Structure 1
Amino acid sequence: SEYLDSSDKSGYLSDLISDVEDKINDTEHDVEIAESKNGVPEGIGAAESRLTIAREKLDEARRVEKPGDAIDLLAFAMERARSAQWWATLSCIGSGTAIPDDVLHDRAGRYYSQSASIVAYADALISEAGGSASLVKSAADDLSRARTELQTGYHAGAIYDSLHAMVQAGTAIELIGIADMDEKVNKSERDAMSAIVSARESGAEPILAVSAYEHAKTLAPSQIDQIVDYGYATMVARTAQSFAGHGNRTAMQETNISESIQRIVQVPVKRKTVNKQPVEQSPETPDLNGYELLAVVAMIYLIRKRYA
């Protein structure tokens, strides 16, 4: 590699770090320009999310001890910065509706708060009943990034990372006990396409939703990834419709209460033994974990009822 062939390896690595940092700074400027041109929020959000990741990887590259690890991180950071630049440019194609900063700030805060609750409930449920812990972890990573974006003023990025966290946590809940994955994938695809069509009919062009839909269709490595991508496409398309001024309600996670979740609450949960005496917990006498399980179902029911 160029690094191994270099006579000044330390200087080579320093130059790489400078190149990546310059690219990130240039991309930040491009995002500011896109914002000044009223770029569509989802394009701005996608750019801000990727910029945040690029910054994270650049910081990691500065901390790691092995040069090979640093080079890998820098390569990924550069790719994210270039992708962010592309999204910033794409956001300016077509007419954009000016979204007041206070609206973005308010929605970013609300979505982050809603996402944090859903991720917490999903974590409690998966810990108790089993399921896809990897989805919950990925949702927590999205949530952490959204928090960083709120702190740095990347409100659009915080919106779409919060939405992605909602989708992943909601999917983890929905998949508990699901037997027919094919039908779940097909339904998720239909919902996504319907949301995209509705957004377009309202005058919006949901570029990020279409991207997520196409990724699910052609590149998603598993059915779970397809469900997440289609779910994200649905949420983003509804948000695009809302931003276009034609939606009469806030886009929100619409998670079905599956029969499997109901059974988890209705059937007594076997607890760990205490002093060698098995203790069973039923919905009639819930402890903290029982309340958490009930809270999941209650929250999902209220969301469906409110936004139905």
Structure 2
Amino acid sequence: MANAFDTEITETAEALIGPWRRPRQMLQAQTYDAHASIHDDATAQKLGFKGGTIEGPTHFSQFVPLGERLWGRVWFETGCLSAHYRSVCYEGEEVQAVLSKPLPATSQCQIQMVKRDGTEVLRGTASVGEPHAATALEARLGELKPLADPVILRDVKVAQTSKRQSVRMAFDQNMGDLYPFSLRQKLAVITENSPYYSSADNPWRRPIIPMEMLSVLFQYRSKDDPLPAKGPAVGLFVDQEIRLVKGPLFVDEEYEIEREVVALSGSRRTESAWAKTRVFDKANALVATMLLNMATLKDSYAPYGEEYRQLYGKASP
């Protein structure tokens, strides 16, 4: 059987360190609410970014060989990456994944991604199996400031749950307006490719979906049953956790998903809806979950100031 990866990994007493990589930006043509997204150069520049940003879960791929080196097959079956995105990354920039070795008798460790100049792109936790400690995002959820004076998310409520949706990902299936590319196109540029992704030469005898593409699968039909947020406005992923419960997930297999709003939070620049996606197989067994903080930029919603005054009788802070 083929090795999962041929990635060069540096091992120290404290950590596993991946090679420097230049991830590719594949969302230039992404649209939602009939407008371009934060991954479009012109849209991103209007909002103060240098250009179109690389989508956060693209970075998850660089941690997968490190998790596989540490935990082996079980990483693909019950692995979890839980990350807070700290700064954006642009195409052409080099980034490196670092996984700190876990303490003895624990199944969770710290992860970090950095740029050449030391800028931290993300930080969080990696783990396998049943959670014995809070993941990075579970800890963050416990510390959130509740959303005060919502405008964009004023009609969104905690515990709102979507209808079940069926989703699948075939090799040549275009994944829609949110993800205008196919799995085959992604595998041509993915930072860490594996024979496990494109052939049955793996322990499960079927091609498996890469962790970064699970985000695509889980979001594929999100606009068919959207949250009642005001728009058009531009959002970005700020926190994301993907947990395999009974993995891996397979190419061209049908799954059912549902989403639940589990928290609302805010900052000076953003309003955030935290959604928990639960993924079920055809036997209705839970196979994976995703926790996603989609933060909407207040400045990108044109009537924000006017509607704030109407709702709260004062100027927006």
Common topology (TM > 0.5) = no
TM-score (norm 1): 0.29
TM-score (norm 2): 0.28
**Bigger Rg, structure 1 or 2:** 1
If each structure's strand is expressed as a fraction of its own residues, which one has the higher value?
2
Higher relative contact order structure (alpha carbons within 8 Å, sequence separation ≥ 6): 2
If each structure's helix is expressed as a fraction of its own residues, which one has the higher value?
1
